[in-house]
Amino acid sequence: MLEFFLAGYVLSAVVSQTALDFFILVMAGYWLAMVLRHREQYKSWGFYKTGVEWAMFGYLGAVIVSWLINWGGKIDYLSGLQKLNWILHIFLLQFIFTKARFSVTGLCKLLAVGTLIPSIYAIFTYIYGVNFITGRFSDRLLGALNSATYYAHANAVIFVFGIALLGFMWKKVSTFWRILLVSCYSILGVSIYLTFTRGIWLSIVMSSLIMVAFHNLKLFKKFAGILITAVLLGFVISSTFRERIFHAFDTSVNYERVGLLKVNYEMWKDYPIFGVGYGGNAARVTEYWQKLNLPGAPLESHAHDQYLNVLSSTGLFGFVFFLAVWILFLRISWNMIAQAKSDGKKNEYIILFACTWAQLEFAIACLTDVSFEYAKIRALIVIVWALVLALRINYQSKDSLVR
């Protein structure tokens, strides 16, 4: 049953915020019932020390400090607090994972089949140029999330995670499942490509190169050759692909994005320690746009770079804690991969490999957008972090989390 709710949580992240909230509430209810029913067993409310608490709560403190120092600005404090619920979600999901049991093969199949219908729907919206649910027209794939950016960033995490599992489990599944899994992940990959989100193209490629090189250098050489060939073919065959690549280096086309980067950098220079207040940078874009005398009309939006967005809104104080969260989770993952490989725990190694790949992909994607600020996208990296922590808790247990 818990496995069903965890699966629902993951798949809801690429379909519906309402469904995502539903599954987190159901799991919260399960946690509360278990804690109240077994008070002696769960004296610490069923939560475990992670080693990352100081960074997560430090970031929360930095956000609050940034608000106090910049009090009175155009900041939606309630919305800001809601965005920080990911800290509670990590503890909750970690608890749920320690009670769940799943197989690597089953997880690979679930992610593939679970994303198939949303992927097919998304491709049809691209073919017809309209989202059938909302009626929104676009020359890019929008999907059920009604946003090319949301769709690409969220599904990229699932894509690299699933591909990692498929690579390891290839010889353990039947011919039927091989064909089905390849078809499902290919359709998902095509749908991500059709969003024409360059940052995601980059994050998938770079994270793939890093992880393939880590696993097998011989395979890396073949993979790099195939990748180069694919990119060259893309340039020759697709005019849209060429335009998207060339436009990335054309500041006249990307003047809004470039302007937002300059504006947020200027904010950080003016407020280097505590920033302009978490969530307050978008409201001050017009002010800084005029101050820098930038071309075109100002776009009151975020920095389009997660790390710069943290710097401009919470300053160096918040940035140190935010970066520490990422570094600590990646370090835990890398250390556990080495330990699982040394101990011959293949299933744990496979899952941890996939978790690390997903984290790298997300971290690179954050260079081109504020992926961590979107609830549905953030939910996917949060569940990956929770899974890593749960694997560490259950690592020495005879009743392994992964089968």
**Residue 393 to residue 389: CA distance in whole angstroms:** 6
Question: Which residues are registered as beta bridge partners of 3?
Answer: none
Please tell me the predicted confidence (pLDDT) of residue 31. 92
Please tell me the predicted confidence (pLDDT) of residue 210. 93
Identify the residue with better confidence: 399 or 220.
Answer: 220
Q: What does pTM read for this prediction?
A: 0.94
Confidence of residue 57 (pLDDT cuts 50, 70, 90): very high
Please tell me the predicted confidence (pLDDT) of residue 298. 83
Question: Who contacts 125 (Cβ-Cβ below 8 Å, separation ≥6)?
Answer: 131, 132, 141, 142, 143
Confidence of residue 357 (pLDDT cuts 50, 70, 90): very high
Residue with tokens 């496995």, as numbered in its chain:
3
**Residue 375 to residue 380: CA distance in whole angstroms:** 9
Residue 235 amino acid letter? F
**Residue 386 to residue 39: CA distance in whole angstroms:** 23
**Residue 216 to residue 206: CA distance in whole angstroms:** 16
Over residues 131-150, mean pLDDT: 87
Question: Token pair of 217, please?
Answer: 């250098």
Closest CA to 5 of 399, 383, 389, 394: 383
**Residue 137 main-chain phi, psi, to 5 deg:** -95, 145
Residue with tokens 């069923």, as numbered in its chain:
46
**What's the chain's average pLDDT?**
90
- Residue 197 has what DSSP assignment? -
Residue 292 amino acid letter? L
Structural domain boundaries in the chain: 2-215+298-394
Q: What is the DSSP string of 229-297?
A: HHHHHHHHH-HHHHHHHHHTT-TTTSHHHHHHHHHHHHHHHHSTTT-S-TT-TGGGHHHHHHHTT-SS-
Please tell me the predicted confidence (pLDDT) of residue 326. 97
Please tell me the predicted confidence (pLDDT) of residue 73. 72
Residue 59 buriedness (CB in 10 A; 0-12 / 13-18 / 19+): buried
Please tell me the predicted confidence (pLDDT) of residue 321. 98
Is 80 exceeded by the pLDDT of residue 377? yes
In angstroms, what CA-CA distances link 212 with 158, 187, 215, 385, 389?
A: 17, 22, 5, 21, 24
Length of the chain: 403
Q: What is the DSSP string of 330-345?
A: HHHHHHHHHHHHHHT-
Question: Which residues are registered as beta bridge partners of 4?
Answer: none
List the single range of 12-26, 140-154, 210-224, 247-261 with lowest mean pLDDT.
Answer: 247-261
- State pLDDT tens for residues 312-333: 999 999 999 999 999 999 999 9
**Residue 350 to residue 140: CA distance in whole angstroms:** 34
